Amino acid sequence: MKVILLEDVKNLGKKGEVVKVSDGYARNFVIPKKLGVEANGKNMNDLKLQKANEERIAKELLEAAEKFAAEMETKEVVVSIKSGEGGRTFGSVSSKEIAEAAKAQCGMEIDKKKIQLPEAIKSLGAYEVSVKLHPKVMGKLKVKVQEAK
């Protein structure tokens, strides 16, 4: 019997896959536990529509991420940090501070976990920081670190 899986089942398959299992396994385990449904015409059509909808949503998310990345590259965020003589800073600029500054100065909501700093920013100057907006989209944000007054 062919079954459409509604959830991931160990040693059987992933959600949305059509798998062939024995009739007894399907009737006694997969279907009663709501792990899958029989792969008849109606259910196959529902699966096809669901996958088309998921693809459309994924495409919209990708386009939104690309648009946000293009917008982000035109902006610059200024972060102030205490520093001593010779431009030496006390501490470093974290991704949390960059995210807060981006929200306050540009109105951009950026998750601090998506900001990727190659190494800690421990000196004054201008930096370009990578932001992972989508698995396929990386944005660049200009960060200017200046001395706090």
pTM, two decimal places: 0.70
Helix, strand, or coil (residue 32): coil
pLDDT digits 0-9 by tens, 32-59 = 999 999 999 999 999 999 999 999 999 9
- 143: burial class by Cβ within 10 Å (0-12, 13-18, 19+)? buried
User: What's the rounded Cα separation, in Å, for the pair 9 and 24?
Assistant: 16
Band (pLDDT 50/70/90 cuts) for residue 91 is confident
As given in the structure block, the two tokens for residue 124 are: 């004054």
As given in the structure block, the two tokens for residue 64 are: 């939104």
Q: What is the pLDDT of residue 42?
A: 95
Q: What is the pLDDT of residue 53?
A: 95
Q: What is the pLDDT of residue 100?
A: 92
Q: What is the pLDDT of residue 143?
A: 92
Averaged pLDDT score across all residues of the chain: 91
Residue count (the chain)? 149
